[in-house]
Amino acid sequence: MPSIRCIVAATDFSEFSERAVRRAARIAQQHNAQLHLLHVVRPLDLYPSLTQTPDEFGHSDQELQQAEQTRVEAMATALSGQFGIRVLPVTRIGRAHTEIAGYAQEVAADLVAAGARGESTLKDLFLGSTASRLLRVAECPVLIVKKPVDEPYRKVLAAMDFSPVSAAVLGHAFDLADGARVETLHVLGSEVEQRLRKAKFVRLDLTDWLTRQRADAEEQLDALLAPVEKGAAARRLVQPGFPPAVICQCIEDGQVDLVVLGRHGYGGGLQDWLLGSVSKDVAFAATCDVLLIGMGGR
């Protein structure tokens, strides 16, 4: 079972990052973890329209960082008082996604929380550019917070493809559920079925093939749930279809608050070697919070 001891929450002081910070604080409270509140200052030399000398850029960046450090410290004090947790205020200068990922690795974070969108929302309407890039470079699990934080999670969906990361997906689902209802989902890949139908593979009974696939999937779900203390209470779902669509439909139908899945799995293809296509589609389209787990489980 994963253990959450250190959480990094990224903030740019936007509404969406405020949600991420508060969710991270609630999780830290539940697990008696330390929360690192991180704000990344974008250096002025990344703005092509500005014309200053390197020294002028550096001096301006440092002044802004000092001002933002004061702002982050005030947020940290408020969070510490409200949630009764340890909060460390931190600022960095650089590109947001690389600084967040680097800092998380530096402090051996067990979880990074970020808002679905930040101050700039035009480029990526449903998933901000920082969150999208962070998913590709962070080594630890990344929680993309989309929903307002009013209460703990009530229902968690663990979507598993039986790749090596599936056990970690299940463990993190129970860890963040903290008593909430957990459902497990495996989507029977429709690509093989579609290709067989197109090829008119008449020697294969597709109905029988799908039945055997379902039975095998249920056995694998049982095997993954067996070591989990609360596994007997978890509902098993096995459904055919296009995985991102089925996962998102289950989220809507089941009023899921959090979905957990691997960032890399089977069938991603070379074109999605940085972030699996299913993970990417769900991260963009899901209406609930999304927790993505890397191959290392951290």
Question: How many Cα atoms are found within 13 Å in the side-chain-facing hemisphere of 67?
Answer: 7
Question: How many Cα atoms are found within 13 Å in the side-chain-facing hemisphere of 84?
Answer: 4
Q: Residue 203: what pLDDT? A: 54
Residues 12 and 102: beta-carbon distance below 8 Å: no
| Least confident residue range of 147-151, 171-175, 177-181, 265-269 | 265-269
Q: What integer is the mean pLDDT of 17-21?
A: 94
Q: Is 100 helix (H, G, I), strand (E, B) or coil?
A: helix
Q: Residue 119: what pLDDT? A: 47
Q: How confident is the model at residue 173 (pLDDT cuts 50, 70, 90)?
A: very high
Amino acid at position 127, single letter: L
Cα separation of 247 and 225, whole Å? 19
Decide if pLDDT at 296 tops 80.
no
Q: Residue 65: what pLDDT? A: 82
Give the pTM.
Answer: 0.84
Decide if pLDDT at 131 tops 80.
yes
| Least confident residue range of 131-135, 205-209, 210-214, 265-269 | 265-269
Amino acid at position 36, single letter: H
* Nearest Cα residue to 118 out of 221, 199, 250, 17: 17
Q: Is 132 helix (H, G, I), strand (E, B) or coil?
A: helix
Q: Residue 109: what pLDDT? A: 97
138/202: higher pLDDT: 138
Decide if pLDDT at 273 tops 60.
no
Decide if pLDDT at 21 tops 80.
yes
Q: Residue 155: what pLDDT? A: 95
Average pLDDT across the chain, whole number: 82
Q: How confident is the model at residue 240 (pLDDT cuts 50, 70, 90)?
A: confident
- pLDDT tens digits for range 29-53: 999 999 999 999 887 444 444 445 5
Alpha carbon 256 to its chain centroid, in Å, reads 15
Q: How confident is the model at residue 59 (pLDDT cuts 50, 70, 90)?
A: low
26/118: higher pLDDT: 26
Q: Residue 269: what pLDDT? A: 41
| Least confident residue range of 30-44, 84-98, 101-115, 203-217 | 203-217
Task: State what percent of residues in the chain have pLDDT above 90.
Answer: 52
